[in-house]
Amino acid sequence: MRNLLALSVVALFALSALAQENKEGVTKKKYGNMPDATQVDEYTLTNKNGMTMKVITLGGIVTEMHVPDKDGKFADVCLGCSNLAEYLEGHPYFGAITGRVANRIAKGKFTLGGKEYTLATNNGPNHLHGGKIGFDKVIWTGTIYRTEGAQSLMLQYRSKDGEEGYPGNLSVTVRYILTDKNEWRIEYSATTDKATPINLTQHAYFNLAGHSSGTILDHQVKINADKYTPTDDTLIPTGKIEPVKGTPNDFTTPTAIGKRIKDIKADPQGYDLNFVLNGKAGELREIAVVTEPKSGRVMKVSTTEPGVQFYTGNFLDGKQKGKGGVKYSQYGGFCLETQHYPDSINQKGFPSVVLEPGKKYMHTTVYSFGVAK
């Protein structure tokens, strides 16, 4: 009898710990330490529906995102690593904030204000995602703040003049807002004291069936883009803007990712290109809808940005260690990275990525989760 009583007390404690964990709000705990002993924190945001996301201060990485399916069953739909050691071993920008300039800058060179700047070439001949230690690899300062109908975390980082070769001290704020409508809203802002290129995005890899459930080839994708920016074989835009019509890149009506993937002439094969979004940049408009047929999960994407990089995890090769010992294989996740077009700093015909002192960089993107009706 006494044993039974003790057991039920233990069970009660376990249950209340679980309830605590799933409680609406934001909690903070230590995630680990960097090699130089800097502490990395983990924030858990839970909305009133029980949707939960975990964020670490290393790179502002979203390590987990638990979203309900058509039967109300939750699954973690973001690819990621199991712990800090694995993130530090290296990963393909899972869930991270990328910058100062996301995507590629040809040959790592640009000229601004009559001065030539040289950046790291960390992707073949080109500069990718901010260089060797981009915004995905730095420690951000986290602050929990109050918002009506949402759980919110502010991440801040001050990138010094000359960091990774870029000009100007840049103060960056990224807000992650998990609303009670199951939206993950991201608000980016930045100011600088010297003219600098800036292009911030979120590099989350999604698999709406669950992060470890295989490929995303049967996900149905719609992208509101009539045009795209073709690239050379190092993924630098040629400068042309071409119609998607008649190409495997036409997602103007919902189409399975895998349907025409074999028609793409690239090595490795798959989508890795920038779509020129319809509608007015600067205004928050819906730009993509992704549906996973079995779970019924739907993700809608809205942004103020002019472009989106649609990347289907072509470089994942089954070697990358993932959460719970999973090895992510090719097409194990997809990214819809809302941003300006690649290599904009060197392309006269593309919208400018230059931020001047006294001006404010602003970008809002919303990933909204629901189920197919």
CA distance 220 to 333: 13
d(CA 268, CA 339): 23
DSSP one-letter string for 144-165:
EEEETTEEEEEEEEEEPTTGGG
Closest distance between ligand BGC and the C-beta of residue 205, in Å? 9
Footprint of ligand BGC on 76-95 (CB under 6 A): 92-93
CA 247-249-251 angle, to 5 degrees, is: 115
Known catalytic residue at 363: no
In the residue annotation, 203 being an active-site residue is answered as yes
Residue 311 binds ligand BGC, judged by CB under 6 A? yes
Which CB, 145 or 315, lies closer to ligand BGC? 315
Closest CA to 156 of 296, 57, 246, 52: 57
Q: Under the criterion CB under 6 A, does residue 43 sit at the interface with ligand BGC?
A: no
Pick the catalytic residue: 219, 337, 340, 363? 337
Which residues are bridge partners to 199 per DSSP? 101
Q: How far is the CB of 123 from ligand BGC (least distance, A)?
A: 7
Is 310 a binder of ligand BGC (CB under 6 A)?
no
Q: Is 343 in the site for ligand BGC (CB under 6 A)?
A: no
- Binding mask 92-111 toward ligand BGC (x if CB under 6 A, else -) reads xx---------x--------
Q: Is 364 in the site for ligand BGC (CB under 6 A)?
A: no
Which lies closer to ligand BGC via its Cβ, residue 13 or residue 315?
315
Catalytic residue among 91, 127, 129, 203: 203
Taking Cα atoms as reference points, which of 155, 117, 118 lies closest to residue 136?
155
Stretch that binds ligand BGC, among 25-33, 51-59, 171-179, 308-316 (CB under 6 A): 308-316
Q: Is 136 exposed, middle or buried (0-12, 13-18, 19+ CB in 10 A)?
A: buried
Residue closer to ligand BGC (CB basis): 26 or 58: 58
Binding mask 260-299 for ligand BGC (x = CB under 6 A): ------------x---------------------------
Cβ neighbours for 240, distance < 8 A, ≥ 6 positions apart: 229, 230
Residue 47 vs 338, nearer CB to ligand BGC:
338
Number of residues that bind ligand BGC (CB under 6 A): 9
Q: Exactly one of 126, 309, 312, 344 binds ligand BGC (CB under 6 A); which one?
A: 309
What span, in angstroms and rounded, lies between the C-alpha atoms of 26 and 152?
A: 7
263: which DSSP letter? G
- Contact between residue 313 and residue 330 where contact means Cβ atoms under 8 Å apart: yes
Least separation in angstroms between residue 273's CB and ligand BGC is 8
Pick 122 or 252: Cβ nearer ligand BGC:
122
Span from 178-186, 281-289, 309-317, 320-328 in contact with ligand BGC (CB under 6 A): 309-317
Give the nearest distance from C-beta 235 to ligand BGC in angstroms. Answer: 6
Taking the C-alpha atoms of residue 301 and residue 286, their distance in angstroms, rounded to an integer, is 6
CA distance to 58, 81, 132, 248, 320, per residue, from 87 (Å): 9, 6, 15, 34, 11
CA dihedral (358, 129, 231, 306) positive or negative: negative
Q: Which of residues 215-254 bind ligand BGC (CB under 6 A)?
A: 235
Q: Which is nearer to ligand BGC, 163 or 272 (CB)?
A: 272
Q: Which DSSP symbol is given to 58?
A: B
Nearer to ligand BGC, 43 or 323 (CB): 323
CB-CB neighbours of 282 under 10 Å? 13
Residues contributing to the site for ligand BGC (CB under 6 A): 92-93, 103, 235, 272, 309, 311, 315, 337
Catalytic residues: 203, 337
